[in-house]
Amino acid sequence: MTVPSICVTDLSSIQMKELMANLGEPSYRAGQLQRWLYRGLARTFDEMADLPKHLRHKLSQDTRLHSLTPLQEVVGSDGTVKTLFTLVDGKSIESTLMPYTSARDGRRHTLCLSTQVGCAIGCAFCATGQQGFERNLTPGEMIDQVLYFARRLREQSGETGDSDHCARSITNLVFMGMGEPLANYDALWQAIVMLNSPQGFGLGARSVVISTAGLVPQIKRLSQEKLQVGLAISLHASDNALRDRLVPINRRYPLEDLVPACKEYFELTGRRPSFEYVLFDGINDSIEHARSLARLLRGLNCHVNLIPANRTSGHKFRPPTMSTILGFQRELKRLRITCTLRQGRGLDIAAGCGQLRSRSMQSLLSSSPQ
């Protein structure tokens, strides 16, 4: 059976109207289709009750409603859900849903999305980086990760039908999964625009964070966008020699280029960037490293997220002791650097990006005939 090449979640609002015109339908049908997709969270065209039967048939013949299929799912003791998806071409990606409860915000669901199959950045400590780069995701492949988990949450809550509550059950999106988001800029931005649009998923731009290893030209481009999404920099080192080892893209965009680009981002958007600093035992976790980090960021309105390392199979990168982590944090605070120690999520299911896919790939290799 031939799979239709057009996936409706890959289409912008304008392209949906063009699709309807090509099918001989009035343009308002595009709005109906969008509402069923992003608010009704429809699984099939047949669920779209106010679309004529002949149009539903045409759509099912000429287009696809979804671009990914869940292959494996694991649930952590803290409620974190990690899902491995198969794409239409047989490649795989993963996403992680993290539930939080706080007195101020109540129940929140943060979804960590992938933007590429694999990653070309090649960070030494990253499970995804060890897999190499295969291809960019399409806008629809990013959007469909959101819609899958929105449906999952709707089913858990017992909600039914077309409701804004269902569509907004995911409260935050972080593009911090597999891949370098800014290396897939155009597809990423199309997905964000649709997820933000009142005619799309309707999620506020300030609830979206893009993570990058430090692609300076794309950071500058992001600072010109009208939607004020958040920016997170995967820093992990405060000097070029160490960062060259940990984050190889630093050789192209060193700290003397990266930090001014982040300052420019703040000046143009009014949104302070955050810096992700994964702590590795004996590598970047000393008091002197904390002082060096404070010197690097002095004068920049920013926030530092300290993250104990994940244990990835076969790696020398291990988390420091808690006393070392707390000492590092105390030194940053003493030097007036705003910082937070991020609590690990899904540790018992290896929820760090790329780890579930790595295990799946290893399993396939071990089971293949030699």
123 among known catalytic residues: no
Q: Which CATH class is domain 6-64?
A: mainly alpha
Q: What is the CATH number of domain 68-367?
A: 3.20.20.70
What's the whole-number average pLDDT of the chain? 89
pLDDT for the residue 351: 47
119 among known catalytic residues: no
Beta strand 133-136 with 230-234 is unpaired
Name the catalytic one among 25, 94, 141, 276. Answer: 94
Band of pLDDT at residue 4, cut at 50, 70 and 90: confident
**Residue 167 predicted with pLDDT over 60:** no
Q: Where are the domains of the chain?
A: 6-64, 68-367
**Alpha-carbon dihedral sign for residues 290, 279, 124, 230:** negative
Nearest to 134 by CA among 336, 354, 309: 354
Within 10 Å of residue 114's Cβ, how many Cβ atoms?
27
Mean pLDDT of 332-358: 71
The structure's pTM equals 0.89
Name the catalytic one among 7, 123, 262, 353. Answer: 353
Are 293 and 265 in contact by the 8 Å Cβ rule? The answer is no
Are 352 and 312 in contact by the 8 Å Cβ rule? The answer is yes
pLDDT for the residue 157: 78
pLDDT for the residue 148: 97
6-64 with 68-367: one CATH topology? no
pLDDT (tens digit, 9 = 90+) per residue, 19-35?
A: 999 999 999 999 999 99
Long-range contacts of 130-135 (CB under 8 A, 24+ apart): 130/312, 130/354, 130/358, 131/354, 131/357, 131/358, 131/361, 133/179, 134/91, 135/91
